[in-house]
């Protein structure tokens, strides 16, 4: 049985697997049951599995004629968010779907008994939502001898329609700037004796709003959290914690926004006398496109769902830690496939839904993609 026939024969099992993973959603670095579930299925199918200390990520392999590696990556973690008034782990970003499709790509190829030219490696990664999982997996050597790398992500209905797919998601860079403002307390009747951190915060917000760059590259930078350490209304507050969300479609523009942010903080300190400390956190780089990898994925998409359902590219201002892999190893031919699946109301919405039929043609596209790359 060829791998595509295997997927067609196991449609019901694929849907059941997705439902199982959806029910055992686990947040970043806590993906124990998810990892165990996937490893069990892969070991039963005869794949070699390698685990790592201190986290639940792992890899599975089908040995090829050569030691060079074509890799396919899935993320396993869920978001921790409020769902109908309850804080819980929830798969509202589709990682359960990604793991299901990569699992069945591996099972389909293994079931065929074929020996690929290159070794096929299936990477099951933790902590994508923290922007930390890819970095850890690279430390563990999962890219050793990798020449091609592929991933996938469900796309909202407005980006990529149902039964269509794009061979490349052009994600932007994203980060969070977290900081504190230290002022001076004073009686509200004598504000001139203090340094009001609310006023300092307002100055920062207005400066961010006034950023005017001559560029066609999309970006955004805005304060998204502000916590004032003051319970009384008649005291000038002296402490504040803030977070700023930064997005840029290119890594170069992200660097420029960081430089502008630093100048804004320095100017606010000079003008008000407040002390501001900050750090750039939760950074993920923008996508680096690779035509060779895109061509592999494009050929797979046209084979599985037809040329009429191929979308040339998918541009997203969202961030994705998959791009740490190519940021660190730009010589690897890598791309993320954007899968249309009738996803509504949107990614990270607590009630995100999609058409489960996409799991079937998604698994086929991923299978065809890695097989295409392994023929070279």
Q: What is the pLDDT of residues 298-336, one digit of tens each?
A: 999 999 999 999 999 999 978 899 999 999 999 999 999
Query: Domain 173-284, what fold?
Result: Alpha-Beta Plaits (3.30.70)
pLDDT value at 33 more than 90:
yes
Residues of the chain with pLDDT > 90: what percent? 97
Residue 282 predicted with pLDDT over 90: no
Q: Residue 41's CB: how many other CB atoms inside 10 A?
A: 17
**Predicted confidence (pLDDT) at residue 183 exceeds the cutoff of 90:** yes
pTM of the shown model = 0.90
Q: For 131-143, give one letter per residue: b (16+ CB within 10 A) or e.
A: bbbbebbeebebb
pLDDT digits (tens, 9 = 90+) for 100-133: 999 999 999 999 999 999 999 999 999 999 999 9
Instruction: Name the pLDDT band for 376 (thresholds 50, 70, 90).
Output: confident
Contacts of 246 (CB under 8 A, 6+ apart): 174, 175, 176, 177, 219, 220, 221, 254, 257, 258, 261
Distance CA 330, CA 327 (A): 6
For domain 3-172+287-374, which CATH number applies: 2.60.40.3080, 3.40.630.10, 3.30.1360.20, 3.40.50.1000? 3.40.630.10
Q: List Cα–Cα distances, 298 to 4, 139, 170, in angstroms.
A: 17, 30, 15
Residue whose pair of structure tokens reads 């991923």 in the numeric block: 366
Domain residue limits, the chain:
3-172+287-374, 173-284
């Amino acid at each position: 049985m060829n791998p595509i026939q295997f997927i067609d024969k196991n449609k019901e099992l694929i849907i059941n697997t997705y439902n199982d993973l959806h029910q055992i959603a686990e947040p970043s670095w806590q993906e124990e049951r998810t990892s165990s579930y996937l490893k069990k299925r892969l070991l039963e199918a005869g794949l070699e599995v390698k685990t790592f200390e201190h986290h639940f990520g792992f890899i599975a392999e089908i040995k090829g004629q050569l030691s060079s590696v074509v890799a396919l990556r899935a993320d396993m973690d869920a978001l921790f968010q409020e769902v109908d008034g309850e804080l819980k782990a929830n798969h509202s970003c589709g990682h359960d779907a990604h793991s299901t499709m990569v699992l069945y790509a591996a099972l389909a190829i293994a079931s065929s008994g074929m020996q690929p030219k290159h070794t096929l490696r299936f990477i099951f990664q933790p902590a994508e939502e923290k922007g930390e999982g890819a970095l850890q997996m690279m430390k563990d050597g999962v890219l050793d001898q990798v020449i091609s790398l592929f991933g996938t992500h469900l796309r909202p209905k407005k980006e990529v329609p149902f039964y269509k797919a794009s061979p490349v998601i052009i994600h932007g860079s994203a980060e969070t700037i977290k900081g504190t403002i230290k002022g001076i307390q004073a009686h509200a009747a004598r504000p001139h004796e203090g340094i009001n951190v609310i006023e300092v915060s307002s100055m920062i917000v207005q400066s961010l709003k006034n950023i005017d760059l001559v560029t066609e590259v999309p970006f955004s930078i805005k304060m998204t959290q502000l916590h004032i350490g003051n319970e009384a209304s008649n005291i000038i507050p002296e402490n504040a914690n803030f977070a700023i969300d930064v997005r840029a479609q290119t890594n170069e523009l992200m660097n420029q926004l960081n430089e502008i942010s630093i100048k804004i903080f320095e100017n606010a300190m000079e003008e008000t006398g407040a002390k501001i400390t900050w750090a750039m956190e939760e950074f993920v780089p923008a996508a680096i496109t690779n035509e060779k990898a895109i061509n592999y994925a494009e050929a797979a998409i046209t084979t599985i769902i037809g040329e009429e359902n191929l979308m040339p590219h998918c541009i997203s201002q969202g961030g994705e830690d998959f791009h740490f892999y190519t940021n660190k190893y730009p010589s690897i031919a890598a791309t993320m496939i954007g899968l249309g699946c009738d996803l509504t109301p949107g990614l990270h919405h607590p009630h995100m839904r999609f058409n489960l039929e996409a799991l079937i043609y998604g698994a086929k596209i991923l299978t065809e993609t890695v097989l295409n790359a392994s023929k070279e």
